[in-house]
Amino acid sequence: MAIMGQLLYGTLLLRIGPRVLMTSGALVAGTIFMQLGKVHELWLFYLCYMLLLLGNGAYGGIVANTVVNNWFIIKRGKAIGLATAGMSFSGAVIPFIALLLIERTGMQSAFFWLGLAVIMIAPLAFLIMRGRPEECGLTPDGIEISVAPPKTSLSLISAPGDGAAFLNDSSLQTSAHIWTPGQVLRIRAFWHLGFSYGLTMVGVVGVLSQLKPRFTDIGFGDHNAMLMLTLTTLLGALGKYVWGMFCDRYHPQHVVAVLMLSGAVSLLFSFFEDSVPLLVFFVITFGFSMGGVLSTFPIMIASLFGRDSFASVGRILALFFLLQLLGYPIAGASFDFTGSYRTAYVIFIILDFIAAAMIYFMKSPQPALNSKK
């Protein structure tokens, strides 16, 4: 549902912009969340939950990433990393806040106050949100852009306090070429990017779905197992920012290849079930690499296809994340047939290596060769 929503909101974003989407999404999500505390029928709970996912998608995901991408070029990695890290931090903090509210005010009141907090996003989005800096008479990062001679593929960027940096034309692209769905479906870079991230997410989802019960199975108490899961989530938030920062300093394609390789290597440490230090090291390395997957995905889209094509291309690429659903049955079947998750982890490691190779050897798309509609 959430993944298909990215296609929907990516399309709406091109038509009505992020301001209306974020405002209406917060109103819908907050109102529905308030009602969840009063639901007593299972079918009504499912209905409310689906509407909640749709509402959340209108102010997160591709909508938020598009806005950040439009406002930043030089510091795009840091900005997207910081923005996506908020999701991980909220996943670690909000449950504890909800627990305190439930203990002190009751279930229905907790749903009400949390829903009200979401609704408060709406007026902020309406008053503050602007999809592009050009709407305010500004430029991305507050930079001055002087385009290099036509024969070169680089443009010189000057930013206050940051000196100068050279970026690819695709990063600065404003109107030279807008990728259409028909064009991107015909180039290899689109398929390589989509499948590499889809395959990586198979392992991420498969590991996270059984991380807590796996720690319990190998001897950790419930509290310690949950602590390990929380640590993984927090390290994921840190990883989102750090990997995004690396993309600002180095070639994003090379950074992502290293990221996917680090995910594969981290899973190797999980096989040392009798060593607590190595299992802790597994949590640290896996959490850190896992976080970078979601933060570098929008960075790679912008780097390859340009800021003006981000929403158009990103809404289709998001469909590759449906592959992550394979992580659940792979992990489950591994435990059912072998009594452990080792077989699943071997599969995830292989998929990570394949994904890293696809990214590393991927060739950047050439608009000049695909400009015909």
What CATH number corresponds to the domain at position 247?
1.20.1250.20
Poorest-pLDDT segment among 39-43, 109-113, 262-266, 312-316: 39-43
Banded pLDDT at 144 (limits 50, 70, 90): low
Give the model's pLDDT for residue 100.
Answer: 85
Check residue 356 and give its pLDDT.
96
Identify whether 369 is part of a domain: no
Domain of residue 355, residue span: 181-364
Query: Where is average pLDDT lowest: 66-75, 153-162, 321-330, 333-342?
Result: 153-162
Q: Is the pLDDT of residue 361 over 60?
A: yes
Asked whether residue 370 is assigned to any structural domain, the reply reads no
Number of domains into which the chain is organized: 3
194 with 263, same domain: the answer is yes
More confident residue, 309 or 219: 309
Whether 114 and 148 share a structural domain: no
Which has more pLDDT, 306 or 221? 306
pLDDT score recorded for residue 222: 67
Are residues 145 and 191 both part of a single domain?
no
pLDDT at 217 over 60: yes
User: Which pLDDT score is estimated for 70?
Assistant: 92
Judge whether residue 64 has pLDDT over 50: yes
Does 373 reside within a domain? no
How high does pLDDT run on average in the chain?
Answer: 84
Q: Comparing 266-270, 314-318, 367-371, which segment has the lowest mean pLDDT?
A: 367-371
Give residue 164's pLDDT: 38
Question: Would you state the pLDDT for residue 328?
Answer: 92
Top-confidence residue, 63 or 370: 63
Which of 19-23, 145-149, 254-258, 266-270 shows the lowest mean pLDDT across its residues? Answer: 145-149
223 in the same domain as 119 = no
Please indicate, yes or no, whether residues 288 and 226 belong to a single structural domain of this protein.
yes
Task: Kindly state whether residues 222 and 346 are assigned to the same domain.
Answer: yes
**Does residue 371 belong to any structural domain of this protein?**
no
Residues 360, 273 within the same domain: yes
Same domain assignment for residues 224 and 359: yes
112 with 147, same domain: the answer is no
What pLDDT is attached to residue 69? 92
Confidence of residue 147 (pLDDT cuts 50, 70, 90): very low
Does residue 372 form part of some domain?
A: no
Looking at per-residue pLDDT, the higher value among 220 and 137 belongs to 137
> Tell me, what's the pLDDT at 206?
92
The pLDDT assigned to 372 comes to 45
pLDDT of residue 162: 39
Q: Do 31 and 101 fall into the same domain?
A: yes
Q: How far apart are CA 179 and CA 369, in angstroms?
A: 12
Tell me the average pLDDT across 336-358. Answer: 93
Q: What is the predicted pLDDT for the residue at 289?
A: 92
Please indicate, yes or no, whether residues 132 and 202 belong to a single structural domain of this protein: no
- Helix (H), strand (E), coil (C) string for the chain: CHHHHHHHHHHHHHHHCHHHHHHHHHHHHHHHHHHHCCCCCHHHHHHHHHHHHHHHHCCCHHHHHHHHHHHCCCCHHHHHHHHHHHHHHHHHHHHHHHHHHHHHHCHHHHHHHHHHHHHCHHHHHHHHCCCCHHHHCCCHHHCEEECCCCCCCEEEEEECCCEEEEEEHHHHCCCCCCCCHHHHCCCHHHHHHHHHHHHHHHHHHHHHHHHHHHHHHCCCCHHHHHHHHHHHHHHHHHHHHHHHHHHHHCCHHHHHHHHHHHHHHHHHHHHCCCCHHHHHHHHHHHHHHHHHHHHHHHHHHHHHHCHHHHHHHHHHHHHHHHHHHHHHHHHHHHHHHHCCCHHHHHHHHHHHHHHHHHHHCCCCCCHHHCCCC
Percent of the chain with pLDDT over 70: 87
What is the reported pTM? 0.82
Percent of the chain residues past pLDDT 90, beyond the cut: 45
Residue 64, domain member (yes or no):
yes
Average pLDDT over residues 196-214: 88
Widest Cα–Cα separation across the chain: 67
Least confident of 70-74, 159-163, 265-269: 159-163
Is the pLDDT at 23 greater than 90, yes or no? Answer: yes
Residue 43: what are its φ and ψ, rounded to 5°? -65, -35
The last residue of a domain, from among 115, 148, 172:
172
Q: Which of 136, 158, 193 corresponds to the end of one domain?
A: 136
Mean pLDDT of 285-306: 92
Indicate if the pLDDT at residue 35 is higher than 50.
yes
Residues 226-282: tens digit of each pLDDT: 777 778 888 888 999 999 999 999 999 999 999 999 999 999 988 887 777 888 888
147 and 289 together in one domain: no
